[in-house]
Amino acid sequence: QSALTQPASVSGSPGQSITISCTGTSSDVGGYNSVSWYQQHPGKAPKLMIYDVSNRPSGVFTRFSGSKSGNTASLTISGLQAEDEADYYCSSSTNSTTPVVFGGGTKLTVL
Partner 1 sequence: EVQLVETGGGLIQPGGSLRLSCAASGFTVSSNYMNWVRQAPGKGLEWVSVIYSGGSTYYADSVKGRFTISRDNSKNTLYLQMNSLRAEDTAVYYCARGTSGGYVDYWGQGTLVTVSS
* Interaction between residue 92 and partner 1 (CB under 8 A): yes
* Interaction between residue 101 and partner 1 (CB under 8 A): yes
Q: Hey, is 31 helix, strand or coil?
A: helix
Write a three-state SS string for 73-85. Answer: EEEEECCCCHHHC
* Interaction between residue 85 and partner 1 (CB under 8 A): no
Task: Give the integer Cα–Cα distance in Å for 68 and 76.
Answer: 11
* Interaction between residue 102 and partner 1 (CB under 8 A): yes
How far from 84 is each of 3, 21, 29, 89, 110, CA to CA, in Å? 24, 16, 24, 13, 7
What is the closest distance, in whole angstroms, from the C-beta atom of residue 18 to partner 1 in the complex? Answer: 19
Q: Which residues contact 48 (CB under 8 A, 6 or more apart)?
A: 36, 37, 38, 57, 60
Binding-site member from 25, 73, 86, 89 for partner 1 (CB under 8 A): 89
Binding-site member from 51, 65, 77, 80 for partner 1 (CB under 8 A): 51
Task: Give the integer Cα–Cα distance in Å for 70 and 45.
Answer: 30
* Interaction between residue 36 and partner 1 (CB under 8 A): yes
Binding-site member from 20, 91, 108, 110 for partner 1 (CB under 8 A): 91
Footprint of partner 1 on this chain (CB under 8 A)? 1, 3, 32, 34, 36, 38, 40, 45-48, 51-52, 57, 87, 89, 91-93, 97-105
